[in-house]
A and B are shown apart, each in its own frame.
Chain A
Amino acid sequence: MTLLFQLTLYLYLLATAVYVAHFLSRQKQVRAVARAILLAGGILHTVYFIVRYVYVGHTPLTSNHEAVSFFAWSMTWAFLSFWWRYRVKNFGVFVSPLISLLMLIAALASREMLPLPPALRSNWLPVHASIAIMANGFMALAFCGGIMYLLQEREIKKKKFGIFYSRLPSLEALDDLNQHCMALGFLLLTLGIITGSVWAKQAWGTYWQWDPKETWSLITWLIYAAMLHQRLSFGWRRRRAAIMAIIGFAAALFTLWGVTYLLGGVHSYVG
């Protein structure tokens, strides 16, 4: 099982390297190779989760290692499924390093298999945890799109065309990408909060108790809700939307880690 994880990690790292090579060389064949490696990594990663599930006997989303690794997994598949419908030039070179980084963090975390704490013994665990983390996956894609937008816009605005101008897609395409990922991420986040709250009622007897994790999820949710609202009613699109995608992702990351390590609370067993 360690081998399986290690192999997945190496495939992601390799995919990142090949994506960078494609970014610099602009050879189409190189990109196809990168995509194939990433796909192989994604499949192996799926196998890893199944194997781990069988070993631990419950949904493997309860330790920091598992959660972060699942985060990377959902990013990979969100990216691959996204690619199936839309083509965004050189998106991969921005997404794959982030996937690799997450996997490195997961690799450093303890991979110990702990018995499930009583509070988590529920059918809600797979539903709530996977939805909440998948929301992060899409927000991460929106974050990458936001970074790409700002880089591309900078070169057009400053009229100094460096390495990005010809390699990145049009601002319009990046803005569409941003909107699409944020809408999906927001939807999943909403579902994540709702399922969490229903589960909390069953486990703790109350829907909402202002636990730090709950509070920060709500803050993240409010940021995204405000962003979508502004976009639809006042045309907060493009540059501002790109910045908001980056801020929103930072809030999501803080909900994931910051809360656990800095604020604690009843929800802090999960990474």
Chain B
Amino acid sequence: MSAESIVIIGVNHKTAPVAVREKLAFSGDCSGPLLTLINIEGCRECCFLSTCNRVEVILVADDPAVAAVAVRGFLFARSGLADVEAQQYSYLYQGQEAVAHLYQVATSLDSMVVGEPQILGQLKQAYREAMEHKTTGVILNRLLHKSFSVAKRVRTETNIGGSAVSISYAAVELAKKIFGSLRDKSVLLVGAGEMAELAAEHLLRQGIGRVIVANRTLERAANLARKFNGTAVGLAELTTQLAEVDILISSTGATDLILRKDEVKPLMRQRKNRPLFLIDIAVPRDLDPELNELDNVYLYDIDDLKNVVDANKGEREKEALRAEDIVAVEVVKFGQWLDGMELAPTITALRQKANAIREAEVTKTLSAMKSLSEGERRSVEMLANAIVNKLLHEPMVFLKNNDPNDNPQLKLDFVRQLFGLDREA
């Protein structure tokens, strides 16, 4: 199997601006694209991935150059761009490069936010759809499965997804460092900004027990509270609520501080010193910076959170370098497998395996039977030889038989699996 028949053609956030990407966005069901792609002339296998930042076509084709033009024609059909322009906005990887690119996508090294976990799920979903439409075969099945395991390896061996790289995630991570489990904790949202909403969503996903929304207009508070299955209160109740809740996220448009140190100090006694995590994402700030001086009170404003995020990004970049090394090693491994997916190497590998077994067993037997004469030893060797050759005869005929109705790749894969020729030592 020539590696060069594996091709990836795609468009992502690095090669095309959103104005171009939105013109080729495919939404929902992949069956249309898959059926179109598999009917391109010379296309033997294909898989189609579409997310908000990328559209990728992974295919195995007899004549990659011809297939590439057809695929681009399909991708850019609605954009009205000529193929020359389409080439500028898209990329084409072939052979080893294609394998490496797919691994980078799966491990999120190619993502806008390195280390984000969603892309792997999206790729798995794309593969599932391709399987349902039977557009993948031996090569892509192996390639995609490998890309999933490479992604898993990168996740466990590097810290690429380790630390939060968005403000709202950083806040959630901090909350977990302070409170451990968030299950029996509650959060009070003051003001109803977008960022506060996002942070509340993350907290809910981490299983926070209760959400309370306080807003100047009660109606807006009630709307938001309904969304989070929580309760709405007026701004006047701020201090009463503060005696109960564990986390406060403030994002009002107030020009002045809404909470001062000496308002919270007496509350801490009432709270029996249960810790209080204050998150101030408003500009200008809502919460008195001196609040952080109180025992068991932790105050983070927007700049503090940004600093956390920046530090984490640096950490991820370091981890990404280690992930690249893993990808490089895995690309070589896949190349080796691909090289073996030809008739001649498979026959050689099969013979080598059989001969190794024969030699080992003959040596073992003969060393236990020292009394045999030279002639008898020869007979034992011949016996072993004959068994091996007769057993291998039918598989060899099966492999070499060139029935035009057969799928040669399927046969090779079948034999290689049956005899365990790709088992990693």
* Chain A interface residues (CB < 8 Å from chain B): 26, 152, 156-157, 159, 161, 165-166, 169-173, 176, 234-240
Contact = CB atoms under 8 A, between A and B. Distances in A.
A156 B162 CA distance: 17
B273 A238 contact: yes
B296 interface: yes
A269 B300 CA distance: 55
A235 B179 contact: no
A186 to B, nearest CB: 20
Contacts of A238: 273, 275, 296
B308 A156 contact: no
Nearest to A235: B272
A172 B178 contact: yes
Interface-central residue, A169, A170, A173, A234, by most chain B CB under 10 Å: A170
26 contacts: A26-B159, A152-B177, A156-B177, A157-B292, A157-B298, A159-B300, A159-B304, A161-B308, A161-B311, A165-B177, A166-B162, A170-B176, A170-B177, A170-B178, A170-B179, A170-B180, A171-B177, A171-B179, A176-B180, A235-B273, A235-B274, A237-B274, A238-B296, A239-B295, A239-B296, A240-B295
Given A165-B177, A172-B180, A237-B272, 6 more contacts: A157-B292, A157-B298, A166-B162, A170-B179, A238-B275, A239-B296
Contact of A166 (B163, B180, B275): B163
A173 B181 CA distance: 9
Interface string B308-344: 1001000000000000000000000000000000000
A57 to B, nearest CB: 50
B174 A172 contact: no
* Range class of the B interface residue count: 20 to 34
User: Top 9 A-B pairs ranked by shortest CB distance?
Assistant: A235-B272, A172-B180, A170-B180, A235-B273, A173-B180, A159-B304, A170-B177, A172-B179, A171-B178
A26 B298 CA distance: 27
Interface string B213-243: 0000000000000000000000000000000
B118 interface: no
Interface of B: 159, 162-163, 174, 176-181, 269, 271-275, 292, 295-296, 298, 300, 304, 307-308, 311
Contacts, number: 52
B296 to A, nearest CB: 6
Contacts of B177: 152, 156, 165, 170-171
B154 to A, nearest CB: 15
Contacts of B272: 234-235, 237
Contact of B308 (A159, A170, A173): A159
A171 B298 CA distance: 12
Contacts of B296: 238-239
B307 A159 contact: yes
Nearest to B174: A156
Nearest to B156: A28
Contacts of B159: 26
Contacts of B162: 166
Contacts of A173: 180
A161 B179 CA distance: 17
A163 to B, nearest CB: 12
Contacts of B269: 234
B166 to A, nearest CB: 16
A198 to B, nearest CB: 38
Nearest to A173: B180
A240 B159 CA distance: 34
Interface-central residue, A156, A159, A161, by most chain B CB under 10 Å: A159
Nearest to B181: A172
A236 B298 contact: no
A262 to B, nearest CB: 35
Contacts of A171: 177-180, 275
